Amino acid sequence: MLKYLQDRIKDKNILILGFGREGRSTLKAFLEAGGARKLTIADQKELSLTSEVFSQKEFADYDLDGLGFCCGEDYQDHCDSYDLVMKSPGIVLKKEIGAYRCEILSQMQLFFEFYRDRIIGITGTKGKSTTTTLMHHILKESGLSAILAGNIGIPVFDILHEITDETLFVIELSCHQLEYMTVSPKWAVLLNIYEEHLDHYGTMDKYIAAKENVYHNQKPGDILFVNPDIKPSADVCRASIKTVAVDGDGEPDVVLSLPEDKKDTEFVLSYHDRNCTVIENRISLLGEHNYLDIAYVYGMCCEFGISDEDFLKGLQTYVPLPHRLQYVGCVDGISYYDDSISTIDETTIQALNTIKNADTVLVGGMDRGISYVNLEEYLNRSSVAHIILMEATGKRIYEEIMRDYPEFAHKERLYVVEHMEDAVSLAKEITKKGGSCILSPAAASYGIYKNFEERGDAFVRLLREEQK
């Protein structure tokens, strides 16, 4: 791959647009590959060779002489002065990509150009990290060579020295990574699409278009596993299309059969002539939404010839990622769950459906203007006794309920507080013993916390402080 990178950047003036984790990864890979005429870093933050980042160990083995900088508020204004711009995910270009005279690429584009026939690419608004890490875990447990990378927090250029001739890549793909992609993976998964990231895209159509790049450039013989609600037509996707759904929802290829009696403790996965029974108390993932993620992985595992025995072994040893309806402990007879990953109303509804003894839910975060009608209607019907609304979206939900839902059952269930600290203290006071309290914000954390991980960690820290 390094030789391929060398050929792609030879004699070019290159601008690395954005110098976060991926930007640093790109710089190191290009320095190692060699061949560029000039490398320049562009970032909103002021940087120079004397900046702290360049004194760290990760750059100790690289010759940085001649490295250029283009920093400040106008860091994007000079793109057309370069032959090639390497854009980091999440940076919003000031113009449509076609309006630039320079070539604009990304790590993911170059990696996919070289390795696409060995890539399992997984995307969706929700569930992609769980699906990606579970897929990787089962492949490894089944004896296959597999590397995890992508939006999970591992830039693909960081794994270049781990690759063998047998390596498969399980890559989590965000909408930002897919936005301008012109290559699609041989094996693709599109879990779902919900209203999200409208602060970046402006319209749902643009957001959906970015997600659909996971299959737009697939080839005949490739495979796409997809939610039936967003299944593309054959003239749009040339891959073999496999749908995944709960039994009774059309005629999916991969079927998740849930027990008719809620007292039953198993569910069944079916694909072609295979049927695999999963005992719920032997796995760590909770709830129908997670069982659907498992169904996608099962279908893919069948395609790779993994036996049901090996699939179940991997599923049963899988440890879920933190902040995804994670049980964090019992304090004074109350069970607490961290679902900080929840940034839309659908995931909060899923969490409350999963935790049967939910007594208190903490909702609210940064207001991106998304609709909360479905959540408000659900809360009206639900038996959740205490609904603690915090931050900007919490206040908006409260105002909308008071204004638009005169029939809302027992509005005294609603509590409005300012911040997480107030919410946790109140939850300790009002949640009944034997019940559960769930942090499931249905909103982004930006502007309040660095990310959903920091928000979840804050929730757990506050619980522990309350114990003292």
- Is there a shared CATH topology between the 2-105 domain and the 326-467 domain? no
Residues with Cβ within 8 Å of 457's Cβ and at least 6 positions away in sequence, in order, are none
In this prediction, residue 202 carries a pLDDT of: 76
Output the pLDDT for position 263: 65
pLDDT number for residue 68: 97
- Predicted TM-score (pTM) of the model is 0.90
226 falls in which pLDDT band (50, 70, 90)? very high
Domain ranges of the chain: 2-105, 110-317, 326-467
Note every long-range contact of 226-231, with CB atoms under 8 Å and residues 24 or more positions apart, other chains counting: 226/189, 226/190, 227/124, 227/190, 227/191, 227/192, 227/193, 228/252, 229/192, 230/190, 230/192, 230/193
Average pLDDT over residues 334-359: 95
* DSSP class per residue in 114-132: HHGGGEEEEE-SSSHHHHH
Q: How far apart are CA 77 and CA 144, in angstroms?
A: 46
Query: What tens digit of pLDDT does each residue of 354-384 get?
Result: 998 999 999 999 998 889 999 999 999 999 9
Least confident of 110-119, 236-245, 263-272: 263-272
Q: For residue 25, how many other CB atoms are within 10 A of its CB?
A: 21
Q: Architecture of 326-467 per CATH?
A: Alpha-Beta Complex (3.90)
pLDDT band at 262 (very low <50, low <70, confident <90, very high): low
Does residue 326 carry a pLDDT above 90? yes
Please count the helices (runs of H) and the strands (runs of E) in the chain.
14, 20
**CATH level 3 topology of 2-105:** Rossmann fold (3.40.50)
pLDDT at residue number 40: 98
For residues 210 and 178, is the Cβ–Cβ distance under 8 A? yes
| 110-317: CATH topology | UDP-N-acetylmuramoyl-L-alanine:D-glutamate ligase (3.40.1190)
Q: At 300, which helix (H) or strand (E)?
A: helix 288-303
- Encode pLDDT of 11-33 as tens digits: 999 999 999 999 999 999 999 99
Q: What is the pLDDT of residue 467?
A: 57
The H or E element containing residue 149 is strand 146-150
In degrees, rounded to 5, the angle at the alpha carbon of residue 325 between the alpha carbons of residues 323 and 328 is 70
Q: Kindly tell me the burial class for residue 177, based on how many C-beta atoms sit within 10 Å of its own C-beta (0-12, 13-18, 19 or more).
A: buried
Q: Which two tokens stand for residue 50?
A: 């004397």
Instruction: Name the H helices within 370-419.
Output: 373-381, 391-404
| Per-residue pLDDT at 466 exceeds 70 | no
**Cβ-Cβ contacts under 8 Å for 264 (sequence gap 6 or more):** none
136-153 average pLDDT score = 97
**What pLDDT does residue 458 have?**
97
Q: Which two tokens stand for residue 111?
A: 């990696």
State residue 260's pLDDT score: 80
